[in-house]
Amino acid sequence: MKNFLAFITVLVLGYMIVVSLDNNEAFPAYGEADVSSRVSQAFIDRSVTEDPGDIIFGQATNLESGPANIVTAIVADYRSFDTLGEVTVLFVSSLGVALLLGGKKQKRLELNFHPNFMLRVGSRALFGIILMTGVYIAIHGHLTPGGGFPGGAMIASSMLLLYLADDEFRAKIKGFKMLESFAGTAYVLIGLTGLLLGGYFLENLLDNGVIGDLFSAGIIPIVYVLIGLKVGSEISGIIDNFLTEEGV
Amino acid sequence: MKYVATFLVLFVSYIALAGIHVQELLLGAIVSAILTVILAKHVNYTIDYRFPVKLLVFIFAYLPLFVWQLVLSNLAVARIVLSPRIKKHLNPGFVKINTDLKGDFAKLTLANSITLTPGTLSVDIDGNDIYIHTVYIKGKTPEENRQNISAKFEKVLGVVFK
Amino acid sequence: MEIASYIFMTIGGLFYLLGGLGILRMPDTFNRIQAGTKATTLGAFTLLIGIGFNNPEWFPKLLLIIVFIAFANPIGSSALAKASYKSCDLPDNLVQDDLIDLFGGKEDGPS
Amino acid sequence: MMDIIVFSLIGLGVLFAVSRLLIGPTPADRVVSLDTFNIIVIGVIALLANQFENSLYLDIAIVYGILAFIETIVFARYLEGQHGDC
């Protein structure tokens, strides 16, 4: 009886969902939506500014949101509060790893196999290039594909390379923790400044500049660099937790 | 000097990625300077006053030899791979050869060169011994193997990394 | 310029093909590492230089990729070769094995 | 026309490398073929950048190359630790 009632309920609910999604005003059929009246299309066309002229790379100024990469505009400007939540999720996961594996971490895991000479010396040489690539990706998030999250992941991979290539190497994990707290605090402070001066949290209060320049797009590059630092230091902390053990 | 070398490597790689503009140069210099102070002791870039001469020797003496050996090694690989009966071209084994080069980076460059030259693959370095896997062992003694494999690189690299 | 670029790109493609074929046809792991590393390194060099002829303003980035490959590929190959040596199934046609001095004991390579 | 030749040559190379990835008897063989495959993919991304005439794809090639190198090192270290007694 109970199963039968449940089946009936599910059937009715399913029928209602199908009917409500089928070709009415709110959900038109596939391909028939009038996207030009939707908000997202307006943002992509940037015609919500007062002067909906052409966007010319390297010349156009005073845009709705400055970056040349529309994904960055969505992630770090329109939905920046959501990104703050994502960074918090990453922070909670790194906290979980630290709670499970942490403790008085004193020294590296003792392995009975060692990296060979070429790896040990070569990783020291490649480390600079890899780290610089990560920094470049984090800084240029508003101009090129990429941004804070991939840049932070690249920074953490360079640390992982050093951990794998040297048995004695241990990063200054205290510095990483300080960097992480600094980046998170600065992110929230920028948001609060926007709230005080502009009226809502994380408002883009700086000048947007010329599209395509390095110094443009208001607070977006600053926020993205902070995200990159935070992600990089958190993932480095996770790596450190996995590769160390308690001891004297 | 270590700081200068680290700064140069970081700055050059940033500029190669970002291109040359005034803003990029400015930001690249600032970022490279900060990173140099933090990680100068974790990397092994070094430089000295004879660096330009060494760079010239590296470019005009080492690189042509390297590229030529790389092409030769690829032709050798092609001959082995494209022949119908592979087994008769193979006489594989691990040999040990000596090197006179000093310094970690010199040994690394030598090992990489050996890996990319005909029929050899360096596996590990211990002190002054390089352990190499070869497709076809020609020499009987370590000295002959050394003549066959690494002598021509050592001559050039000895000048570059003094 | 365009023709030179296409010639370089075709040579690069040929070497990539050679690398794949070497990986497939060589009889044991170490020979596979050798064929794969050499052929793909030269293939990547020629292909990237060909692309650079087509777009001269990309040369710095392409040079960075070339330098990175020239360092990283032999290092990765040597690490793989060491791992493969220690995984205990050596090919049976070795005529000489000096590496046993280094890894012959129960454990421990050079520290 | 030339593009088709270059891409078909590279595609055959990828096919051979992937078939060794599928049949390779030992784990080391599979990692070797994966390494080769990665270097080929760097070239393919650069070729696509050339085709679309957009230098932004080169960034992706650099990042892919770096991650592929680290992946090779991770697999090599892992296999090194796997050896039992023999």
Q: Which residues 6+ apart lie within 8 Å of D47 measured at CB?
A: C9, C47, C51, D6, D7, D10
Q: Check residue A246 and give its pLDDT.
A: 75
Average per-residue pLDDT for chain A: 79
H/E run at residue D68: helix D56-82
Provide, as residue numbers in chain B, all residues whose Cβ is less than 8 Å from the Cβ of A233. none
Q: Check residue D54 and give its pLDDT.
A: 81
Average per-residue pLDDT for chain D: 85
C74/A167 CB distance under 8 A:
no
**Contact assessment for residue C23 and residue D17, using Cβ atoms and an 8 Å cutoff:** yes
Give a yes or no: residue C41 inside a domain.
Answer: yes
CB-based burial label for C9 (10 Å; 0-12, 13-18, 19+): buried
Domains present along chain B, CATH in parentheses? 2-39 (no CATH), 52-160 (3.30.70)
3-state secondary structure of A165: helix
B9/A140 CB distance under 8 A:
no
Segments making up each domain of chain D, as ranges: 2-82
Give a yes or no: residue C107 inside a domain.
Answer: no
Give a yes or no: residue C103 inside a domain.
Answer: no
**Contact assessment for residue A166 and residue A158, using Cβ atoms and an 8 Å cutoff:** no
Q: Has residue C109 got a pLDDT over 50?
A: no
Q: Has residue D85 got a pLDDT over 70?
A: no
C26/B81 CB distance under 8 A:
yes
Q: pLDDT, tens digit, for every residue of C3-16?
A: 888 888 888 888 88
Q: Check residue A124 and give its pLDDT.
A: 84
What is the identity of the amino acid at D22? L
Segments making up each domain of chain A, as ranges: 2-33, 70-246
Report the percent of chain C where pLDDT is more than 90. 0
Q: Any chain A CB within 8 A of the CB of C93?
A: no
C75/A122 CB distance under 8 A:
yes
Q: Has residue D86 got a pLDDT over 60?
A: no
Torsional sign, CA C77, C81, C87, C93: positive
Nearest residue of chain C to residue A128 (CA atoms): C68
Q: pLDDT, tens digit, for every residue of B20-67?
A: 888 888 888 888 888 888 877 777 777 777 778 888 888 888 888 888
Q: Any chain A CB within 8 A of the CB of D42?
A: no
Q: Check residue C110 and give its pLDDT.
A: 45
Q: Has residue D4 got a pLDDT over 60?
A: yes
Q: Check residue B46 and give its pLDDT.
A: 73
Residues D2-28 have a mean pLDDT of 85
Which residue would you say has higher pLDDT here, A172 or C19?
Answer: C19
Quote the DSSP letter at residue C57: G
Q: Check residue A12 and give its pLDDT.
A: 93
Q: Has residue C103 got a pLDDT over 80?
A: no
Q: Has residue C88 got a pLDDT over 70?
A: no
Q: Check residue B162 and give its pLDDT.
A: 65
D56/A145 CB distance under 8 A:
yes
Q: Any chain B CB within 8 A of the CB of C8?
A: no
Distance from CA of B49 to the nearest CA of C (A): 23
What domain range is C75 assigned to? 2-87
Q: Any chain D CB within 8 A of the CB of A119?
A: yes
Q: pLDDT, tens digit, for every residue of B97-142?
A: 887 777 788 888 888 888 888 878 888 888 788 888 887 777 677 7
Q: pLDDT, tens digit, for every residue of A113-139?
A: 778 888 888 888 888 888 888 888 888
Nearest residue of chain A to residue D74 (CA atoms): A164
Residues A161-187 have a mean pLDDT of 84
Q: Has residue A40 got a pLDDT over 70?
A: no
For strands A105-108 and A244-246, give the pairing. antiparallel
Which residue would you say has higher pLDDT here, C63 or C102?
Answer: C63
Q: Has residue C69 got a pLDDT over 70?
A: yes
Provide, as residue numbers in chain D, all residues whose Cβ is less than 8 Å from the Cβ of C30. none
Give a yes or no: residue C43 inside a domain.
Answer: yes
The residue written with tokens 């080069």 in the block is: B101
Q: Any chain A CB within 8 A of the CB of C61?
A: no
The ipTM, to two decimals, is 0.87
Q: Which residues 6+ apart lie within 8 Å of B109 measured at CB?
A: B157, B161
For strands B120-126 and B129-134, give the pairing. antiparallel
Q: Any chain A CB within 8 A of the CB of C79?
A: yes
Q: How many domains does chain C have?
A: 1
Q: Has residue C106 got a pLDDT over 50?
A: no
Q: Has residue A42 got a pLDDT over 60?
A: no
Q: Has residue A61 got a pLDDT over 80?
A: no
